[in-house]
């Protein structure tokens, strides 16, 4: 039963929404015991939402509830009223927001039921969801427990793949954290234009790149949820003053004469042979359906994207995390010593290794004497990268590349990677994130029984075109 059919049955009172939610919570608990995809399952809150909905259904007070009864999982960095929201970090243990993030408010207004907070890299710091916070469990890929779910929205992608009930996930991306896990788990993952979806209530990683998006088994699921959560928000100064689109309407369109640029640099050294083959197979399928393709070169993005991304991201995150010092914000410890000693103790005990690495790097790049050489230069490169994409979009509707250069790696393989090798895994995904462009992971087949993802990149505010083209693979 797909999501559309489920909503129809709930409206027609063929499904008892309270009983269904109880079943979903039980299934989520059983899945979590095996795969660690949730940091918390919000059973009491979910049942309460279902009971309220049941009363409204009884009164036929359900007009415009486009997500009626649909179970929605939420990445741990998005605030949910009364539900522990920790961004995967021990330093936020016990934090229960007294408000809903704008996206959560919209989901609840549309009748969606929040079932839990999904596992992630601490504050989003990673590509494989192995950089979880102190005392957190690493999520396991539901297709192979020895492999990564991808990061940082690993739990969101994992539960989207394994759920045998109607379900859509809220993820978040800074440098590829929606499409990378979507690729590794074999689901559709959509990262919208920066500012398309309000960031109010999102626990920041890097303010100038953070975006809330969607993951689901089908394009329809992504279209449905994105329509519900997008739109202007007065609480977010970076929110674009643009109405959300009717994304589902794009799924009825064909792709004849859509112009797609194949990013030349994305198929070279470092990309697994089978990944290249599967993505080229996907491109052939687009051509068979009427799309026009041509190679395009993005030399600046390819050469400097990773460096610029990490310099900007760590600079912003070191600033964002400075407030978590155990005084007003963050986990408290016994008040002993002077401020520096107390500050050091709190952060040493409660931040994971990767969080500490990024704080140190970011603090260094913002220091007097280094700021112009690193941070400001990276910002100038970012502008050049945006210009390079904009030039490409004068000729093409969309751009295409592999999402990740390899299939989901085994944990034993990840352990052997240096921090630099970890960072280079994001080489395909950092470009569109730096430029604030919408992008979509499309599953295009299997390699060694694991999913391969193809990345579609659109111009600003053209999520509809991504869905129009991605729908060709919606099987």
* Cross-strand bridge partners of residue 169: 73, 215
Rounded to an integer, what distance in angstroms lies between the CA atom of residue 460 and that of residue 439? 10
The string of DSSP letters for 339-375 reads HHHHHHHHHHHHS-HHHHHHHHHHHHHTSTTTTIIII
469 in Cβ contact with 202 (< 8 Å): no
Our answer to whether residue 418 is catalytic in this structure is: no
Residue 158 has which token pair? 């994992």
Rounded to an integer, what distance in angstroms lies between the CA atom of residue 127 and that of residue 154? 9
Bond from prior residue into 152 cis (ω within 30 degrees of 0): yes
| Residue pointed to by tokens 């089978």 | 274
Residue 432 has which token pair? 């569109």
| Nearest partner of 73 among 53, 103, 98, judged by Cα | 103
| Residue pointed to by tokens 């070191």 | 318
DSSP state of 110: T
Rounded to an integer, what distance in angstroms lies between the CA atom of residue 426 and that of residue 127? 7
464 in Cβ contact with 420 (< 8 Å): no
Rounded to an integer, what distance in angstroms lies between the CA atom of residue 446 and that of residue 139? 21
Among 89, 177, 183, 401, which one carries the catalytic annotation? 177
| Nearest partner of 181 among 158, 162, 204, judged by Cα | 158
The secondary structure element, H or E, covering residue 412 is helix 411-414
125 in Cβ contact with 152 (< 8 Å): yes
Q: How far is CA 398 from the centre of its chain?
A: 20
For residue 18, the SS3 value is helix
| Nearest partner of 283 among 274, 271, 291, judged by Cα | 291
Among 85, 152, 160, 183, which one carries the catalytic annotation? 152
Helical H segments across 289-351, by residue range: 299-320, 339-350
Q: Who contacts 97 (Cβ-Cβ below 8 Å, separation ≥6)?
A: 79, 80, 81, 82, 83, 85, 201
Residue 382 has which token pair? 């970012």
Q: Who contacts 401 (Cβ-Cβ below 8 Å, separation ≥6)?
A: 262, 263, 266, 267, 279, 428, 454, 455, 457
Among 54, 65, 75, 106, which one carries the catalytic annotation? 75
134 in Cβ contact with 90 (< 8 Å): yes
Give the pairing of strands 292-296 and 188-191: unpaired
Our answer to whether residue 315 is catalytic in this structure is: no
337 in Cβ contact with 421 (< 8 Å): no
Our answer to whether residue 297 is catalytic in this structure is: no
Which amino acids are annotated catalytic?
75, 152, 177
């Amino acid at each position: 039963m797909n999501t559309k059919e489920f909503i129809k049955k709930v409206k027609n009172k063929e499904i008892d929404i309270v009983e269904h939610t109880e079943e979903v919570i039980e299934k989520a608990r059983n899945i979590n015991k095996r795969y660690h995809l949730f940091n918390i399952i919000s059973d009491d809150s979910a049942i309460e939402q279902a009971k309220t909905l049941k009363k409204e259904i009884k009164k036929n007070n359900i007009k415009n509830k486009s997500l009626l009864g649909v179970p929605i999982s939420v990445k741990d960095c998005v605030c949910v009223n009364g539900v522990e929201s920790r961004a995967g970090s021990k330093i936020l243990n016990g934090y229960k927001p007294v408000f809903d993030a704008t996206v959560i408010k919209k989901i609840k207004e549309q009748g969606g039921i929040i079932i839990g907070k999904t596992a992630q890299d601490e504050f989003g710091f990673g590509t494989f969801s192995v950089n979880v916070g102190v005392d957190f469990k690493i999520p396991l890929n539901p297709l192979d427990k020895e492999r990564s779910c991808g990061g940082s929205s690993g739990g969101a992608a994992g539960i989207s793949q394994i759920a045998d009930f109607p379900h859509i996930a809220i993820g978040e991306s800074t440098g590829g954290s929606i499409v990378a896990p979507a690729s590794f788990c074999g689901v559709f993952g959509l990262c919208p234009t920066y500012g398309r979806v309000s960031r109010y209530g999102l626990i920041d990683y890097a303010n100038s790149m953070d975006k809330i998006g969607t993951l689901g088994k089908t394009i329809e699921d992504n279209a449905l949820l994105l329509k519900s959560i997008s739109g202007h928000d007065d609480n977010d100064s970076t929110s674009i003053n643009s109405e959300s689109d009717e994304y589902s309407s794009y799924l009825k369109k064909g792709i004849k004469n859509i112009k797609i640029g194949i990013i030349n640099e994305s198929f070279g050294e470092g990309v697994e042979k089978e990944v290249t083959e599967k993505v080229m197979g996907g491109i052939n399928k687009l051509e068979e359906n009427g799309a026009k393709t041509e190679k395009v070169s993005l030399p600046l993005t390819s050469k400097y994207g990773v460096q610029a991304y990490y310099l900007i991201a760590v600079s912003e995150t070191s600033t964002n995390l400075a407030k978590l010092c155990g005084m007003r914000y963050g986990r408290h410890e016994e008040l002993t010593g002077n401020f520096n000693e107390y500050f050091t103790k709190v952060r040493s005990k409660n931040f994971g290794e990767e969080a500490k690495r990024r704080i140190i790097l970011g603090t260094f790049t913002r220091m007097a004497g280094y700021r112009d050489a690193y941070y400001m230069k990276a910002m100038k490169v970012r502008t050049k990268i945006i210009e390079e994409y904009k030039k490409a979009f004068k000729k093409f509707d969309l751009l295409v590349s592999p999402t990740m250069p390899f299939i989901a790696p085994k944990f034993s393989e990840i352990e052997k990677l240096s921090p630099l090798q970890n960072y280079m895994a994001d080489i395909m995904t950092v470009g569109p994130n730096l430029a604030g462009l919408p992008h979509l992971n499309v599953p295009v087949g299997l390699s060694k029984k694991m999913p391969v993802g193809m990345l579609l990149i659109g111009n600003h505010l053209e999520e509809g075109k991504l869905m129009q083209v991605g729908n060709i693979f919606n099987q």
